[in-house]
Chains A and B, each alone.
Chain A
Amino acid sequence: MKPPETPMMRKRRVQRIGLYVLIALIVLELLDFLVAQWTNGSVLLLLVLAAINAALIVQYFMHIGELFAPEEETH
């Protein structure tokens, strides 16, 4: 049986999620740069990559889901 998660364990777990998001964001920025070199600065592709980046930030860092959550669950 798994031991119950303490607040500190929970904090570390959610902070680890943030670290994974950061790594994804940096990889996408590097991809941005490479795509720009390969495609001579394709506006469409770079816009798609920027939108993915923005979606990750809005979802994980800005917690947009809390905007629509029941009031009791948010602070």
Chain B
Amino acid sequence: MATEALAREHHVAAISPARRIAMNRMGLWLFILSDAFFFAGIFVSRFYLWGATRPHLDQVLGMTVTIVLLVSSYFMYRAEMAIRHDDRGDYLRSILMTILLGVVFMAGVVGFEWRTSPVNLRTEGEFAVYGSVLFFMTGMHAFHVLTGVILLAILAYRGYKGHFSSRNYWAVQAGAIYWHFVDVVWVFFYPALYLMGVAVGPVHH
């Protein structure tokens, strides 16, 4: 038993840092792929349940939160590039901006869209399915944004403590890839919820 553990330890130690990062990167992308299948399932269910229709949602709010999320992705990219070049000040400013924009996005979706949407989980009759799909799609996405914000807060703290540099930034890159993935999901969800098909049902209040 002890010999096996020692052999495993020796094997792990024998893997070069570059090889370990390559394996970590592959693992992360496989996770992203599995999560993409989950979101693809929700995306397809939207078309099965709504068809070529959609509820009357606030177009200005939809466009605004989308742009906020895109800008947050830019700041995350900026943060990653900053730490890759040992600019800790720029890294911290950019990652904090990303977190702030992530929170603004969540406030827009959960705080405003959920409260003002003409369809919700209490909607009954033929339009009940609009509320269910809307809340499931935006809810699961917002949950991912929330986990992303928590992850970025940890990365900001570790960056503040000086744990990252141009020679050690894999954790930052992993967080960035996850954050951008959340953005990619929204790039498909936004048109599916707000733009595709003909608007039907109760009107926005």
**Chain A, 14-53, CB within 8 A of any chain B CB:** 14-15, 18-19, 21-22, 25-26, 29-30, 32-33, 36, 40-43, 46-47, 49-50, 53
From residue 39 to 92 of chain B, which have CB atoms closer than 8 A to chain A? 47, 52, 54, 59, 63, 66-67, 70-71, 73-74, 76-78, 81-82, 84-87, 90
Interface size bracket, A side: 35 or more
Q: Once the chains bind, are B81 and A33 in contact (CB under 8 Å)?
A: no
Q: For A74, give its contact among B16, B25, B85, B180 (CB under 8 Å).
A: B25
The chain B residues found within 8 Å of chain A, CB to CB, are 16, 18-19, 21-22, 25-26, 29, 47, 52, 54, 59, 63, 66-67, 70-71, 73-74, 76-78, 81-82, 84-87, 90, 166-170, 173, 176-177, 180-181, 183-184, 187-188, 190-191, 194-198
Instruction: Say yes or no: A11-B180 contact (C-beta < 8 A), given A33-B63, A53-B187.
Output: no
With an 8 A cutoff between CB atoms, is A7 at the interface?
Answer: yes
A43 interface neighbour in B16, B73, B177, B197, Cβ under 8 Å: B197
**Contact call B74/A22, Cβ cutoff below 8 A:** yes
Q: CB within 8 A of A54: which of B19, B167, B187?
A: B187
Interface pair A46/B196, CB less than 8 Å apart: yes
A61 and B25: CB pair below 8 A? no
State the 6 A-B residue pairs at the shortest beta-carbon distance, nearest first: A36-B195, A11-B85, A22-B74, A71-B18, A46-B191, A18-B77
Contact present for A32 and B195 (CB under 8 Å): yes
CB distance from B102 to the nearest CB of A (A): 15
- Point out the residues of chain A lying under 8 angstroms from B29, CB to CB: 64, 67
Evaluate contact between A61 and B77: CB separation under 8 angstroms: yes
Q: Are A15 and B81 touching (Cβ within 8 A)?
A: yes
B197 surroundings in chain A (CB, below 8 A)? 41, 43
Contacts of A32 in B (CB 8 A): 190-191, 195
Docked pose: A33 CA to B67 CA in angstroms:
12
* Contact for A18 among B74, B183, B191, CB less than 8 A: B74
A33 touching B180 in the complex, CB below 8 Å, given contacts A26-B70, A41-B195, A53-B187: no
Q: In the bound complex, do residue A57 and residue B54 qualify as a contact, i.e. CB atoms below 8 Å apart?
A: no
